[in-house]
Amino acid sequence: MGIESSCDETAAAIVRADKTGKATILSDVVRSQIAEHKDFGGVVPELAARAHVVHLDQIIARACTNASHTLSQVDAIAVTAGPGLIGGVLVGLTTAKALCAALNKPLIGINHLEAHALTARLTNNIQFPYLLLLVSGGHTQFIAVTGVGEYQIWGTTIDDALGEAFDKTAKMLGLDYPGGPQVEHLAKNGDKNRFKFPRPLLNRPGLDFSFSGLKTAVRLAAEKIAPLSEQDVADICASFQHTVTIILAKRSANALERFKQEFSPQNPTLVVAGGVAANKAIAKALDNVAIQANARLIVPPLNLCTDNAAMVAWAGIERFRLGAFDDFSCPARARWPLSEPDMHVLNSKSKFESAP
């Protein structure tokens, strides 16, 4: 069973895997909190935590019902232990610890970013290594994924994450929350060439990102032509999105070139995960990059790109196979970089290597 409560989705899922590695999602229940936060234009941490307290037990029960399983039938309980809003993380982690204590089941604390990083192995059963572009509300990173617990951070944002930049752009333009989908929708009817926005770090060495200056340029452009007409808003959205796709495409091409040089894979794979992966313009641009690099692009289904518990359950399965379990001292973490050494996996590999 997987449990997810790191932000504003309350989720539980049950995932089964056979000995060949093929996975089946038996249930995947997600309750969004958009209605609770809409009036505030963003997630309010205290409200999010309270909603998790109210609804998590019901979500877990529904996941069991949908999977036709009882809690006593699951082999282990995996739960997001960070990073995220600390109140929400605590709700999920405390619930998981209580269930494990009552049922005598193993506890597996999952890094939310690792769950995203391993999702393509759930959906496509791909092998290590592969290149991951994680684009979400809180993170924008290139990660070379070489094994469970083995992650090389090649590039990250030095300021705003891309999802945050989308949402803040939407808020400046007076669009509804969540803003990312609103920007994408309006961009379809806008002129992407009307505004020449900056492309921070585009031609500099390395694979880092910066979106703060782009966000500021959007604000200045909107203020200059205020009051905004509907077409003005659509043109700003289109120009912003077009700029973002150029930045991601250039950086992704560079990252794929480095990946091929360092790993010499027979079939290089670029995986895109996180909520921003749902943006069709971005997905199309990255598909073109992959084709030009003679690489494969994998974008998991939308419901597995945004926050969900099926990816947490799958990450739990990956760690269960390694014997990488946690005790009840497992802490809730607001910050938890993937680059930290993973002692659980390092200490348990001998068990995995000797396993049939």
All structural domains of the chain: 2-118+304-354 (3.30.420.40), 128-299 (3.30.420.40)
Q: Residues 177, 34: contact at Cβ < 8 Å? A: yes
Residue 277 near residue 299, CB atoms below 8 Å: yes
Q: How far is CA 281 from the centre of its chain?
A: 18
Identify the pLDDT of residue 355: 36
Q: Quick check: 351 pLDDT over 50?
A: no
**Digit-coded pLDDT (tens) for 172-201:** 999 988 889 999 999 999 999 999 999 999
pLDDT digits (tens, 9 = 90+) for 241-290: 999 999 999 999 999 999 999 999 988 999 999 889 889 999 999 999 99
State yes or no: pLDDT of 163 exceeds 60: yes
This prediction has a pTM of 0.92
Range 35-64 burial, b when 16+ CB lie within 10 A, else e: eebeeebebbeeebbbbbbebbeebbeebb
User: What does each C-alpha distance from 258 to 110, 144, 148, 261, 270 come to in angstroms?
Assistant: 28, 10, 21, 5, 12
> Stretch 320-332: mean pLDDT, rounded?
95
Q: Which residue has the tokens 């205290």?
A: 46
> Which pLDDT score, from 0 to 100, does residue 138 have?
84
Q: What is the pLDDT of residue 348?
A: 65
Average pLDDT over residues 132-139: 90
pLDDT digits (tens, 9 = 90+) for 15-61: 999 988 789 999 999 999 988 998 888 899 999 999 999 999 999 99
CA 86/CA 281 separation, integer angstroms: 33
> Lowest mean pLDDT: which of 25-39, 64-78, 227-241?
25-39
Q: How far apart are CA 331 and CA 97, in angstroms?
A: 11
